Structure 1
Amino acid sequence: MAATAAAKGNDKSASTVADPALTERLRLEVERAVQRGLKGFELLGAPPPAVGRTPKSVLLRRGTLELVHYHAMSDEVYRVPLLIVMAVTNKGYILDLAPGQSLVEFLLQRGYDVYMIDWHAPTDAERDLKIEDYVQGFIPECIRRVQQDSGEREVTLLGYCAGGMLSTIYQALHPKGPVKNLVCFTTPIDFSKMEIFRKMSDPKVFDVDKFVDSVGVVPADTVIAGFDALRPSSRLAGQIRLWDNLWNDQFVKGYRMMERWGNETLPVPGGYFRQTTKELMQRNALHEGTLRIGGRLVDLSKITVPLLHVIAQYDHIVPPECAHPLVERVASHDKQEIVLPGGHVSIAAGPNAVKRMWPALDSWLEERST
């Protein structure tokens, strides 16, 4: 009996060791561990990944400003050109990471004529640039260049994050101008809902005048630290995910492109930083209807053009409650707000964007771009 029981136990043990599924999982984990080690060494000296590869021509470059025109990918192009406005803190290649991962490429393939206002680090001579310089100088000048280059009077203005804020302010101040449609991604309006940023900019703990007077141009490291403060553990969590997925070439490629974009955050003109801190963060003037730009009141109800606002459901930078008031405040009859799953960046660049946001944007634009 004892021998029989022992034999059965040995049979059970042998069966467990020989389990094909378990053997395959062990083999896979060993293989991935080896790949992690090898690829970890490879990354130490690897050059930064190539980004922003969609062919384009520079139409205007002056100081912090660059206007580019992407080369058409379709024989038939919609009549109304599209002008993208980026936030002054970020490079535009987040919308053109790589073939197949590029909103710009997608729009070109769908037949849109795409231009972009991209930014470079401001020079010391540009330290005093303010919102006025962007919405009464840079954006109008770029629209004129787009009109000249395309031969069309009307344009669609598309702003991402603070680029959407600048586009919105521009349109409120120029309601009878050449903008046919206004599209915004994750655009902040009610800054009282950006609670951590508000606490960091509280005049009781932060003297913005003293800070700006001392630095002139606000360093990129300061801007990055502000964003990192929203999610203190996100950088570490990202590194852990990278380690877990070092065996996955596609994951590593995507991670490194996003890491490069984050690391290449731009410094900000001190004048712009001072003004946005005081007027937007501290006084919430855009939402309260008290913001004056160049002596003129910014009244969102002056906006009457067709408007699309895409909001990220899990946005930690511009929470949905911060973005909702845009559609509520404008007087447009043709206006739509879309809330999609995703975060501040993944709503525009990532697998979810490819499946959800890009087709929704195309569907909205196609009937308003002729």
Structure 2
Amino acid sequence: MSEPLELLDPEAIAKQVRLEVDRALKRNIKGLDFLVAERAEVGHMPKDALYRDGTAVLYRYRPLHGEIYRIPLLVVSPPSNRGYIFDLAKGQSFFEYLLQQGYDVYNLDWNPPRRDERGLGFDDYVGRFIPAALKEIEARTGEREISLAGYCAGGTLVTIYAAIEAREHLRNLITLATPIDFSHMHLFQTWADKRYFDVDLLVRELELIPPEIMLGAFDLARPANRTAGRVNLWTNMWNDEFVKSYRMFDRWAAETLPIPGHYFGQLVKDLMWENALTNGTLEVCGKTADLGRVTASILNIVAKHDHVVSHEATTPLMTMTSSTDREELVSKGGHVSLVAGPSAVRRLWPHIDEWLGRRST
């Protein structure tokens, strides 16, 4: 229960009033600046493009130390999103943190597909782009062993790769908010209900699936999320650090990429409708993806408040693989803040370093 007004320190009251007035003035002044500001700068750490093949581009982030861990790390981005979510800004960059700890970091990222790339599918992402990236890394480092990591659909792709290749030199597999059992992707099951969702018509007519299609599905989960986000922005407009972070995340969401129609059709029909990866019926490059073939050490990272990928959707990594070294980590945060939020900076990244460092020598 709050104290009666007459019992409060007048100086404390005056200080609080001055604070609120100051924030109100800053909101209005900075609100105008926000409206006319250029796009937020993103991408902090220097990097070099090593390989390009259509929509795929492989980057190496320049090491910060002369001595680095022996086993390189390749992080695969979701095909619908830019990889700079891992490198937003100084102090908010997962890759900066990894480089500071001495890892050799690579990122398989994506450019918007051209219309003539509408036929790209799992055979290309899993059987062409990932192997080509690994071949380039091996040629440059001389190391056959590799650590693979992936976020969201990027994690699904690296898991499929591990499930068809059974490569002994796949040392570690790190998955972040990664769907495997699509029967537990409840929002998307409803959104893509096969009784009403004519995916073939969509693919045939559009060829490249625009980002608005995917973003619309996310909005179904939290219809008021964008409005609430803008209200929260206005409330914190006086806070430069909050506004800076908001603008970077906002840019990343706004730059969601279109995806090839064939790939989208496989996501819906093979994974969403047939749950083929979990059921053991998914075929990629003429091979059946078998989760039991995965023997690498696994770190499965789940977001506690993820409204996109449920905890249950990730569990086959812990129950159906043949790895004898499996760890699951449930971290605070949501689907995006898992990889770039304050909780990730303080808690998750050090845990990843502790886990991966022991397995990278």
Same fold? TM cut 0.5:
yes
Which amino acid letter does the alignment assign opposite residue 169 of structure 2?
A: P
SS of equivalent to 1:229: helix
Is 1:367 aligned to 2:358, yes or no?
A: yes
Q: Which residue of 2 aligns with 1:106?
A: 97
**Pairwise CA distance, 1:177:** 4.8
2-structure distance, mates of 1:18, 1:339: 44
Two-structure CA RMSD over aligned residues (Å)? 1.4
* Residue 170 in structure 1 maps to residue 161 in structure 2: yes
Structure 1 residue 199 and structure 2 residue 190: aligned?
yes
Cα distance in structure 2, aligned partners of 1:108 and 1:176: 26
Which residue does 2:79 correspond to in 1? Answer: 88
Partner residue, 1:9: none
Correspondent of 1:145 among 120, 125, 136: 136
When structure 1 is superposed on structure 2, of 312-321 and 289-298 the one drifting more is 289-298
1:4 — aligned with what? Answer: none
Q: Can you list the C-alpha shifts for 1:28-75, whole angstroms capped at 9, x where unaligned? A: 111111101001111111111111120000001232111000001112
* Other-structure match for 2:282: 291
SS, match of residue 344 in structure 1: coil
Structure 2: how far apart are the matches of 1:155 and 1:317? 29
Aligned length: 358
Shift in alpha-carbon separation, 1:106–1:17, aligned structure 2, 3 A: closer
Q: Does 1:184 align with 2:179?
A: no
Alignment pair present for 1:209 and 2:200: yes
Distance in 2, matches of 1:355 and 1:46, equals 30
Report sequence identity in percent: 47
1:75 and 2:49 matched = no
Segments ≥4 residues shifted beyond 4 Å: 15-18
**Cα displacement (A) at 1:18:** 7.4
Provide the residue aligned with 1:242 in structure 2: 233
1: CA distance, partners of 2:219 / 2:107: 27
Q: Which residue does the alignment assign to 1:8? A: none
Partner of 1:6: none
| Number of the residue aligned with 1:304 | 295
1:310 Cα deviation after fit: 0.7
Quick one: distance in 1 between partners of 2:229 and 2:192?
A: 27
**Aligned to 2:336, what secondary structure does the other structure show?**
coil
Superposed, 1:341-352 pairs within 5 Å as: 341-352=332-343
Maintained 8 Å contact 1:17/1:23: no
Q: Which residue of 2 aligns with 1:229?
A: 220
Extract unaligned runs of 5+ from structure 1.
1-11
Q: Deviations over 1:52-100 (max 9, x none)?
A: 1200000012321110000011121000000000110111111100011
Q: Which amino acid aligns with 1:268?
A: I
Question: Cα gap change, 1:17/1:359 in structure 2, threshold over 3 Å: closer, same or farther?
Answer: closer
Question: 1:228 Cα shift?
Answer: 1.6
Q: Which residue in the other structure is 2:348 paired with?
A: 357
CA separation in 1, counterparts of 2:52 and 2:282? 29
Aligned partner of residue 355 in structure 1, secondary structure: helix
Q: Could you tell me which of 142, 148, 151 is aligned with 1:160?
A: 151
**Residue in 1 that maps onto 2:25:** 34
Q: Distance in 2 between matches of 1:358 and 1:337?
A: 14
Matched, 1:132 2:149: no
CA positional deviation for 1:295:
2.9
Q: Which residue among 244, 256, 263 is the counterpart of 1:272?
A: 263
2:244 to 235, 253, 276: 253
Deviation at 1:285, TM superposition (A): 1.2
Q: Work out whether residues 164 and 187 of structure 1, in 8 Å CA contact, stay in contact via their aligned partners in 2.
A: yes
2:48 pairs with 1:57: yes
Using the TM superposition, give the Cα deviation of residue 178 of structure 1 relative to its aligned residue in structure 2, in angstroms. 3.1
> Is the contact between residue 327 and residue 337 of structure 1 (CA under 8 Å) also seen in structure 2?
yes
In the alignment, residue 309 of structure 2 is paired with which amino acid? V
